[in-house]
Structure 1
């Protein structure tokens, strides 16, 4: 069994290498190739933390993947990252553990960033140039890096946070990208001025109000991936012209759309699978005036996809295909 550390994984250009596989990971959910058991969720309420266990298999792959991912949301105040975890790649031929990717949450962050960028680019207006980023954590940074790596547009980013110091830190961390990027502490102004908005916070109460959102805006909601989290007010979700999900049962149970579903403002029939849009089976945005929202809770096929991409880049995928019989 091989253990691959975070430093080795960080040396790989996974933002671009893994993007085709993560795009296909959405499609696999809709075309019958994905086997996705329910997510394991462990809340550590007294510690402001949680742990998710996701696992699954894409038919025809040489491996399946079990992922443990934790979020300890007080860690930044201690000078530590909020995310941690690992991926375990197991041969689909023999059940041998092929490799443990001791990424300490980095692969989850990357696949979430790539998945968010793919959703945003699939659903934004054709003339989108201004992108608002809500939040100042790891995912805010990764979403910007992923959009910069995968989009061929000249984008202008605005980053919102309650703390000017934290917003400034995001801009400093992204200085190597030479992007058009600015800081703001005015969330309403960011929402009114952005063509597309990516919400990345672990907020437990709505931050973004319906009357701040103009027709034609796209929103990718990333932060509400566990019970009790919510970034958008219910009126905004109910008002949207098109609602998209990575996996409807997750989104309606504990994603951004769950509060609106519990209130009776939306039902499963309103939710369109993002994979069906990416495969061309259904339309995404129908007009430039549509308000579109994508609720992304994270799916195990994405973990499989980025693990497979990393193993292939390291020349290790053959270990799974040629595992002992």
Structure 2
């Protein structure tokens, strides 16, 4: 059995071509029948502003299946601790033996979420989109920005907005050191009105982005509403969108960003499509330059399986090379 620490895992996988291909295929596995994805387990800790997700599943033909425990405690940064952590078990789909314990401390979740967001954004945004507004100052604000910049294939201009100006300036400075074109947005409404792409990365339970702020042609990738009670977009904005894309409709309509409009009777399952179908080319995403498109990404277990498989394959190859 292989046991890997976060530091070891970071040496094995990052935003690279194989990891991106694995995440893309993980979305497609949701729609082509290969993905066996049971409902997400969720534990809320309202007293400590935290939650925990248990995601697990199998992709047909894969030698392993994966079980992931991922926790987010959003007041941790004030205590000098990361807001997310977790662990993944990679288990043989042939014998049930535990093949690997990946003590990634949330790294693989953060990485695949960043890659997945970038894949969705590039699949749905206008080809000429250049200005990106990232809302939030946490881990995913960093991963989303870095992954999108790495995969875009064209220069992008990023603006960062957060409730804390100090934190916003800090993340902007950090991303500038990475070579990104970044500035601080002081007015959220004005920044939304100017953005071609809006990426939301907060654990907010109240809408941050209002419908009237979003212009025709804009794309929104909503990352934060991955559990009951969370919401970053005004319900009217979700209802107004021309194209609504979910990573997995049952999750998005059940507890994701789209769930609020669904509960209000404004949209239903037939008003949404799944990202895997867009990536596979079986359904069209954006239809015109005037469309408002929204991707609601709640995080799917097939992504975790894909990342665990990638790490295990590379770790095994590395070990064999040393033997």
Aligned: 1:47 with 2:52: no
Q: Distance in 2 between matches of 1:124 and 1:298?
A: 20
1:200-240 per-position Cα deviation (integer Å, ceiling 9, x unaligned): 00000000000000000000000001111000001101110
Q: Distance in 2 between matches of 1:228 and 1:317?
A: 43
Aligned: 1:224 with 2:231: no
Assess if the C-alpha contact under 8 Å between 2:219 and 2:294 holds in 1: yes
The Cα shift of 1:104 comes to 0.5
Correspondences of 1:1-325 after superposition (within 5 Å): 1-16=1-16, 17-315=18-316
1:222-265 per-position Cα deviation (integer Å, ceiling 9, x unaligned): 00011110000011011100100011111011100111111111
1:140-182 per-position Cα deviation (integer Å, ceiling 9, x unaligned): 0000111122110100000101111101121232233211110
The Cα shift of 1:313 comes to 2.2
1:318/1:264 CA distance change after superposition, 3 Å: farther
The Cα shift of 1:310 comes to 1.4
The Cα shift of 1:318 comes to 9.9
Q: Distance in 2 between matches of 1:245 and 1:66?
A: 22
1:127/1:155 CA distance change after superposition, 3 Å: same
Assess if the C-alpha contact under 8 Å between 2:197 and 2:220 holds in 1: yes
Q: Distance in 2 between matches of 1:2 and 1:108?
A: 19
The Cα shift of 1:14 comes to 1.9
1:300-321 per-position Cα deviation (integer Å, ceiling 9, x unaligned): 00001111111222235999xx
The Cα shift of 1:270 comes to 0.5
SS at structure 2 position matched to 1:18: helix
Assess if the C-alpha contact under 8 Å between 1:251 and 1:257 holds in 2: yes
Assess if the C-alpha contact under 8 Å between 1:238 and 1:260 holds in 2: yes
The Cα shift of 1:93 comes to 1.3
Unaligned runs of 5+ in 1: 320-325
1:84-116 per-position Cα deviation (integer Å, ceiling 9, x unaligned): 101100011111101100000111000101000
Between the two proteins, the alignment pairs up a number of residues equal to: 319
1:317/1:41 CA distance change after superposition, 3 Å: farther
TM, length-normalised to structure 2: 0.96
Q: Which runs of 4+ in 1 moved over 4 A?
A: 316-319
Q: Distance in 2 between matches of 1:227 and 1:13?
A: 31
SS at structure 1 position matched to 2:55: strand
Q: Distance in 1 between matches of 2:202 and 2:4?
A: 29
1:322 aligns to what? Answer: none
Q: Distance in 1 between matches of 2:208 and 2:112?
A: 25
User: Considering only aligned residues, what root-mean-square deviation do their CA atoms show, in Å?
Assistant: 1.3
Q: Distance in 1 between matches of 2:187 and 2:307?
A: 35
